[in-house]
Amino acid sequence: MKKLLIIAVMLIAGSTQAQTNFEKGMAKAFSLWEDNKMDDAENMFERIAKAELDQWLPHYYIAQINSLKSWNMKDEMQLKAQLEKAQQHLDLAKAISKDNVELMVLQAHVLTNWVAFDGMTYGMKYSGKITELYSKAQAMAPENPRVVFSKAEWGMGSAKYFGQDTKPFCADIEKSIELFANFKPESEFHPNWGKNRALEVLKSCK
Contact criterion met (CB below 8 Å) for 200 and 172: no
In tens, the pLDDT along 136-186 reads 999 999 999 999 999 999 999 998 888 898 888 999 999 999 999 999 999
Cα-only R_g, the chain: 19
Give the model confidence (pLDDT) of 113-127 as tens digits: 999 999 999 999 999
The reported pLDDT for the residue numbered 20 is: 79
pLDDT tens readout for residues 13-45: 344 454 679 999 999 999 999 999 999 999 999
How many angstroms separate the first and last alpha carbons of the chain? Answer: 70
- Residue 193: which H helix or E strand, with range? none
pLDDT at 12 exceeding the cut of 70: no
**CA distance linking residue 92 with residue 52, whole number of Å:** 12
pLDDT band for 93, please (50, 70, 90 cuts). very high
Predicted confidence at residue 143, as pLDDT, reads 97
- For the whole model, what pTM was predicted? 0.88
Cβ atoms 59, 93 nearer than 8 A: yes
**pLDDT value for 19:** 61
Helices 38-51 + 2-34 axis angle, to 10: 160
| Residue burial 83-101, b: 16+ Cβ < 10 Å; e: rest | bebbbebbebbbebeeebb
Q: Is 11 a residue whose pLDDT tops 50?
A: no
Whether the per-residue pLDDT at 206 is higher than 60: the answer is: yes
pLDDT at 21 (0 to 100): 92
